[in-house]
Structure 1
Amino acid sequence: MELRVIDKTDEQLRLEIAGEDHTFMNVLKGSLLETPGVAAATYDVNPEQSGGQTEPILTLKTESGVDPLDALADAAGRVQEMTTAFRDAFEAAL
């Protein structure tokens, strides 16, 4: 996974997340939308970028005073917690 910041302001972040698809992006977007201070989170797959590759672009908007990088870090941490909990439950079920 490669990340490339396209644009960042105090309350907005646009980030290319190379090598991912709808599966990961939907999970990340869902976690972002549950993050306090996040006003909007969406992604788009644009085939005109990177020589025809379809790398997703995440767009994140936060409320005043909330740094979008902090919000993204919080959301990513929750995704990690969810996957760890799933793995533990799966191993316990075996």
Structure 2
Amino acid sequence: MKTPAMLTLCGSVVRVFQAPDGVDRKTGETYEGGHRVQLLAEVPLRNGESKLDLVTLSTDQPGRFQELMQKWVRVPVGVYAAKGGVGMYALKGQAPEPLAGHQ
């Protein structure tokens, strides 16, 4: 049995794409772009309102996300420090889970 993820992200799958390959600026080494998924996530605000944020995650499960286009899902994620904020990625080997009751 897999250990449940500590953090999950919920949102509607709006796009799945292949990122372009790139070159590391410091080392000059090339790297593969990999697959990405974009989720439209609802973020609660302190005043009781909410806003929508587009969150881009790297993933090794692009086909599974493609099957769930325009559906709400729960995705186990990892986080890392990114330019003045936090970045997220879908955990390897963990498929998104459809959320019941959301359209």
- TM-score bracket relative to the smaller structure: under 0.3
More helix, by proportion: 1
Taking structure 2 as the reference length, what is the TM-score of the superposition?
A: 0.25
Taking structure 1 as the reference length, what is the TM-score of the superposition?
A: 0.27
More strand, by proportion: 2
